[in-house]
Amino acid sequence: MDVVPQKTFLEHQHLVEKLNDYNHRYYVLDDPSVPDSVYDRQMLQLQALEQDYPALLTEESPSQRVGGAPLASFVQIKHKVPMLSLDNAFVDADLADFDRRLKDRLNASEAIIYACEPKLDGAAVSLLYRDGTLIYGATRGDGSVGEDITANVRTIKSIPLKLRGQNIPALLEVRGEIYLPTVGFDALNASAIASGGKTFVNPRNAAAGSLRQLDSKITASRPLEMCAYSVGQYEGIDTPLTHHGMLNSLATWGFKINQHMEVVTGITACVDYYNRLALRRSQLPYDIDGIVFKVNQLSLQKRLGFVAKAPRWAIARKFPAQEEMTEVLDIEFQVGRTGAITPVARLRPVFVGGVTVSNATLHNGDEIARLDVRVGDSVIIRRAGDVIPQVAKVVIDRRPADTEPVMFPERCPICQSSVLRLADEAVARCTGGLFCGAQIKEAIKHFASRKAMDIDGLGDKLVELMVDESVIFSVADLYDLTVERLVGLERLAEKSAANLVAAIHESKKTTLAKFLYALGVREVGEATAQTLANNFGHIDIIGRASVDQLLEIDDIGPVVAKHITDFFRNPDNLSIIDALQTAGVNWPAIDLDDQSFKPLKGKVWVLTGGMQVMSRAEAKDVLQALGAKVASSVSTKTSQVVAGPGAGSKLTKAQSLGIPVMSEAQLIEFLMDPK
């Protein structure tokens, strides 16, 4: 039908407005206003109306964000205002020089006001709007000419197809960064690995590759986001006074701007901002490779002008590189506490992500085969925040002619026991158990660690020495050690030996949860150990529990339940538990019927950010003693979040889900009377 009834037209218009608002709140404000089911139902209603009345369908409809027919090639677009690059600063002195040059050129002595923004690591784009409607999107290209990627940017839900609010400019060119959040990047690579496809080296490459797809449906399938950072040109509005003010105007028109943006006075404050963001970098839900500092006052920007390819009024203070190229010197196979055999690449040392890296994990045999990494290869090493360095890519073009494929060992490199890989696991394991020296060492290290039995002074090297010298053979032997036996070991003086024996004796006083965690049952971390203690109360009852009984407990699935029952059905493990208790390891009895001191039973708490008065470990212990489960991530099951200084993505997610958030001071006040 060509004629659209007035009632249908109004219904369609109402649905478009509602769905655009839902998209804006979800993808720009991170504040969902309706559940997915409501959104999906209304989208279906919109699509049905547009199918019945094709005249209603426009490019601005929310239904058109799924992508269209593939293009044959990209058309070039010339930028009316060039998209310039930025000069870089690598040390604080570079920032000081930048500030001095600006003052000299402005003939000013007073402190300059700067706008500070995280430098997102993605792909720069230009978006042109006329009378509030998106006309085209273009890549940066060489700064003068880019590629028309309009079909692709229309699929990105944080980009408004039509501007919101009042005082819409007649013409507006917005510049921003399109990027992949970390969660989306990890999911994209996991999907590629599962399907045997090629993985991306980093989120930046993934974002750029996603934008340059001729088939916009592929772009639509990837969770891209855009954050606006500047305006190239505008008409029909009053000239803003500051860069920060312009960005706030962009936010009112429907664009996402960075929530960590700040305005500061003086270059010393810029250095402070850089240092604060550097500490939070690994907690952010996206990659940043530095901080951009811009003179905030636009009239001063105009006076300062440009050099050949960069504005004089802005500079990027770069973080240490997260990726570098180096050489694989060797590939070794390490044996862990549970027998897991992990290949590790020994590298020519390279400075990456702020540290010197000489080792990188290769995870498992599948990863070696997927990368086809070999000794002698040149590789790209990636290290983001505190993440263990990884081999992201092998540079095949630089491969020496005499390299050979790496063969995963069929026998344990430590004890020569056979290596077994179960059909449903990616990890191969040594079958030697406690016959394997490596597993004994790692089991003792774990047992003595701070979150387990917390034996002060029993470091990794001392554990390895004691096992190698046949001083101990299991964790139970620790409690038979004497000063006389230890003094004979290399570099262990009598006072150090006495301190260690005292620390071992002190560790006998523990809790059931810590003891369970210290035993090293596969997949039983601190939270699961606490759950087992809270629900069963006694180690003998846990040892007799069946898989079905364990599955009745929240957060324990069939895999973990089987690991627990297998551990407690092993007579060697039971003899070690008996020996430890005979040696005097003990903990307070748990009265499962006494709920008077469990006001947080059934509640899930998350701690994030720094703690200044009490440590995170202390806060966790207190909350668990009150019955709470302390989880490591925020979800819809989370009851309460405690956010200290430096809180990042967990705090953001809690706020988006409407989960209560308290400060450390509020936590301490609550703990004084937790009823």
Residues designated catalytic? 119
- Greatest CA separation for the chain: 99
Is-contact 476 576, C-beta < 8 A?
yes
Cβ neighbours for 211, distance < 8 A, ≥ 6 positions apart: 123, 125, 139, 149, 152, 153, 178, 219, 224
If phi > 0 it is left, if psi is from -120 to 50 it is alpha, else beta; for residue 596 that is alpha
Distance of alpha carbon 394 from alpha carbon 379, whole angstroms = 4
Tell me which residue of 327, 325, 322 sits closest to 347, measured CA to CA.
Answer: 327
| β-strand partners of 181 | none
In terms of Cβ atoms closer than 10 Å to its own Cβ (0-12, 13-18, 19+), residue 674 is middle
The shares of helix, strand and coil residues in the chain, as percent rounded to the nearest 5, are 40, 20, 40
Distance of alpha carbon 116 from alpha carbon 295, whole angstroms = 9
Any idea which residue has 């839902």 for tokens?
A: 22
Helices 36-52 and 6-23: angle between axes, nearest 10 degrees? 140
Is-contact 213 163, C-beta < 8 A?
no
Amino acid identity, position 663: S
List the structure tokens of 19: 């769905």
DSSP state letters, 38-50? HHHHHHHHHHHHH
In terms of Cβ atoms closer than 10 Å to its own Cβ (0-12, 13-18, 19+), residue 452 is buried
Distance of alpha carbon 474 from alpha carbon 175, whole angstroms = 62
Distance of alpha carbon 659 from alpha carbon 379, whole angstroms = 43
Distance of alpha carbon 382 from alpha carbon 289, whole angstroms = 13
Q: Containing H/E element for 218? A: helix 216-220
> Which segments of 409-567 are extended strands (E)?
419-420, 429-430
Is-contact 282 263, C-beta < 8 A?
no
Distance of alpha carbon 80 from alpha carbon 171, whole angstroms = 13
Beta-strand relationship, 314-318 and 87-89: parallel
List the structure tokens of 214: 């001729």
